[in-house]
């Protein structure tokens, strides 16, 4: 488990940014697509999982998004 993932799990209410999400996702083979066409959310996904996450890029990003991201990464890790 990466240091970043561990810190997100322990403290989802920290001052995380979308750059932290962009750093974490490739470590686990997770796709992190920036918004296009006027959107405001990054799309997070993995080819083996049907579920997609959306995370707003504007700050502050609420802790619930990081809780969901940590759960998503845990699901990917078990594949």
In a domain, 61, yes or no: yes
In a domain, 34, yes or no: yes
Q: What pLDDT digit, counting tens, does each position of 20-79 carry? A: 999 999 999 999 999 998 889 999 999 999 999 999 998 899 999 999 999 999 999 999
In a domain, 72, yes or no: yes
In a domain, 48, yes or no: yes
In a domain, 8, yes or no: no
| Number of domains, the chain | 1
In a domain, 29, yes or no: yes
Q: CATH number for the domain including 70?
A: 3.30.920
CA–CA separation, 37 and 15 (whole Å):
27
Give the pTM: 0.93
Which structural domain, as residue segments, surrounds residue 39? 13-77
pLDDT for position 17? 95
């Amino acid at each position: 488990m990466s240091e970043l993932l561990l810190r997100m799990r322990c403290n989802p209410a920290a001052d995380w940014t979308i750059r932290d999400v962009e750093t974490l996702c490739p470590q686990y083979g997770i796709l992190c697509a920036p918004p296009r066409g006027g959107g405001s959310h990054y799309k997070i996904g993995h080819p083996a999982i049907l579920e997609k996450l959306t995370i707003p890029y504007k700050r502050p990003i609420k802790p619930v998004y990081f809780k969901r991201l940590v759960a998503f990464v845990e699901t990917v890790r078990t594949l």
